[in-house]
Amino acid sequence: MKFDYVIVGAGLTGCVVAEQLSKFENKKILIIEKRNHIAGNCYDFRNENNIIIHKYGPHIFHTNNKKVWKYLSQFTEWEKYQHRVQAHIDGMLVPVPFNINSIHKCFPMTVAREIELALIKKYRYGAKISILELRKEDDELLRMLADYVYDKVFLGYTVKQWDFRPEELDESVTARIPVFVSRDDRYFQDKYQGIPKLGYTKMIKRMINKPNIQLLLNTDFGTVKNDLQYEKLIFTGMLDEYFNFEYGKLPYRSLRFEFETVDLPPIANSKDLRKAADELLNDIYNIRQVSSEVFNDSKSLREIYNTLINISSKLTDASSESSGYTKVLIERVDELLKIASGLLNEAKMLFDDSDELLKISNEMLMKITDIRIKPSRYQPVAQVNYPNEYDYTRITEFIHFYFPYYYQNQSAIAREYPIPFNHGANEIPYYPIPKKENNELADKYKELAKELENVHFVGRLADYKYYNMDQIIERALGACRIINREQGQT
């Protein structure tokens, strides 16, 4: 078989490279993939409840690079998801990375306030400080905070994840999870964040759906390389494996996932919500009785009245159905409650001279907040870390990633167990282990790679480097520019 380009690996790196090179329609491209699917570790699928599952752990796309965001947006629409993570610490769920909210959750109020002020004074609001840097502080209060975060949040998780203490690893590991001097408890602060609306697999399938790209799954490159002819090889697999482990094996960490379908407690039934909506209607009647003049003069109040009548009618219809809620009904009722809340805030401006009207309207706003339909969840955020308990590092609940309401009685979770990577044991090398001696060994292989004129090594495994997804795309696009220059293509 003869091709212009052979790409080893159908993960994100390989597929971006393939998509870019396919723009030259006279070029034939072959992608070879050892697994039975495309998308690499980004691979996702729908389970029996139609929930999109990330088979190899949670993948949240985030970047400040507008070009990368626009590039991917050619192949997908986005679910505008903002990732939040909590850690189970001393029986509490605490936001991580550790921030001002976390400090107030874990320390007494007066101590928390002192720590907050000390951090802002020393580092400024919005700063991010690595744990190990903070542990060098002379300030006793800040050093106490650093030791607490190190012991409760960082140490146990790091040892489980890498099988090394933080001090034994490259500083890049500690830099990834800083203390954040902010109330912002999002895991990432990048300008562009989201998850492909139909999943990563569909996005990547669209990326390589080109007539001059051929895909070969369930195939080890080593078993077919002697049968192939090509001008250029783009290798995204393990760097040491390509050279038959000439200098020894590079170490990686792997993962094992335990997937489970869990039952969820039911959300409030439609009869309960109908009763709550009727109570709101009664409040409107009370406002009318207190001041019919205000009611008649207020377009906002009349609109609230009509909105609540609409809600009550819909909930009455739903309560008579054995099936209870439908997705469309819940979306509509929730939308109407939002409208009622906004109108009520507008109408409150008319109530300044009446304590009684203000009291009624404030109570109504609280009731609206209480009856806004909130779906059941196994856990409050998509990811909960367990740094100090159990053998797993985290539990992911996938329904948080997509449309905020899933109308069903079951959810899907995955417990994640870090394990050693054993070559030849049918395990997946997830993470290069960031240690000085490992990087030095990788550099020796990279010197060998420079001697090969028609082979390009690209990606997390081939570069022996941890990349976020946006960095993978930048790296792949950059490699394509080099390949095109070599081929005299622009």
Task: Give 103's pLDDT tier (boundaries 50, 70, 90).
Answer: very high
Given a contact cutoff of 8 angstroms between Cβ atoms, the answer to whether 416 and 257 are in contact is yes
Tell me whether strands 383-385 and 394-397 are parallel, antiparallel or unpaired.
antiparallel
Q: pLDDT by residue (tens digit) across 23-53?
A: 988 899 999 999 999 999 999 999 998 899 9
Of 255-269, 367-381, 430-444, the range with the lowest mean pLDDT is 367-381
Tell me whether strands 192-196 and 78-79 are parallel, antiparallel or unpaired.
antiparallel
Q: pLDDT higher for 331 or 454?
A: 454
pLDDT above 90: percentage of residues in the chain: 66
Given a contact cutoff of 8 angstroms between Cβ atoms, the answer to whether 294 and 287 are in contact is yes
Angle, nearest 10°, between helix axes 355-371 and 270-290?
Answer: 170
From the list 401, 414, 4, 395, the residue with the least C-alpha distance to 233 is 4
> Which residues on neighbouring strands pair with residue 263, listed in sequence order?
410
The mean per-residue pLDDT over the stretch 199-226 comes to 96
Task: Give 105's pLDDT tier (boundaries 50, 70, 90).
Answer: very high
pLDDT of residue 366: 62
pLDDT of residue 476: 97
The whole-angstrom separation of Cα 48 and Cα 475 is 36
- Work out the mean pLDDT of the chain and round it to a whole number: 85
Task: Give 330's pLDDT tier (boundaries 50, 70, 90).
Answer: low
Q: Is the pLDDT of residue 344 over 90?
A: no
pLDDT of residue 288: 58
Would you mind telling me the total number of residues written for the chain in this entry?
A: 490
- Phi (first) and psi of residue 86, to 5 degrees: -125, 150
Q: Is the pLDDT of residue 425 over 80?
A: no
pLDDT of residue 10: 98
Task: Output the six-digit token pair for 263.
Answer: 């039952």
pLDDT of residue 319: 47
Q: pLDDT higher for 181 or 356?
A: 181
Using the structure block, give the residue that is written with the tokens 């609409």: 310
**The pTM of the whole model exceeds 0.85:** no
Q: Is the pLDDT of residue 318 over 70?
A: no
Given a contact cutoff of 8 angstroms between Cβ atoms, the answer to whether 206 and 76 are in contact is yes
pLDDT above 70: percentage of residues in the chain: 75
User: Which CATH number applies to 2-82+191-251+433-486?
Assistant: 3.40.50.720
SS (H, E, C) the chain: CEEEEEEECCCHHHHHHHHHHCCCCCCCEEEECCCCCCCHHHCEEECCCCCEEECCCCCCEEECCHHHHHHHCCCCCEECCCCCEEEEECCEEEEECCEHHHHHHHCCHHHHHHHHHHHHHHHCCCCEECHHHHCCCCCHHHHHHHHHHHHHHHHHHHHHHHCCCHHHCCHHHHHHCCEECCCCCCCCCCCEEEEECCCHHHHHHHHCCCCCEEEECCCCHHHHHHHCEEEEEEECCCHHHHCCCCCCCCCEEEEEEEEEEEECCCCCCHHHHHHHHHHHHHHHHHHHHHCHHHHHHCHHHHHHHHHHHHHHHHHHHHHCCCCCCCHHHHHHHHHHHHHHHHHHHHHHHHHCCCHHHHHHHHHHHHHHHHHCCCCCCCCCCCEEECCCCCCCCEEEEHHHCCCCCCCCCEEEEEEEEEEECCCCCCCCCCEECCCHHHHHHHHHHHHHHHCCCCEEECCCCCCCCCCCHHHHHHHHHHHHHHHHHHCCCC
Task: Give 91's pLDDT tier (boundaries 50, 70, 90).
Answer: very high
Provide the residue ranges of all domains of the chain, joining segments of one domain with +. 2-82+191-251+433-486, 92-180, 259-265+377-420, 270-371
pLDDT of residue 484: 87
From the list 53, 51, 8, 13, the residue with the least C-alpha distance to 32 is 8
The whole-angstrom separation of Cα 376 and Cα 379 is 9
Please state, as a whole number, how many other Cβ atoms lie within 10 Å of the Cβ of residue 333.
Answer: 23
Q: pLDDT by residue (tens digit) across 389-417?
A: 999 999 999 999 985 545 567 899 999 99
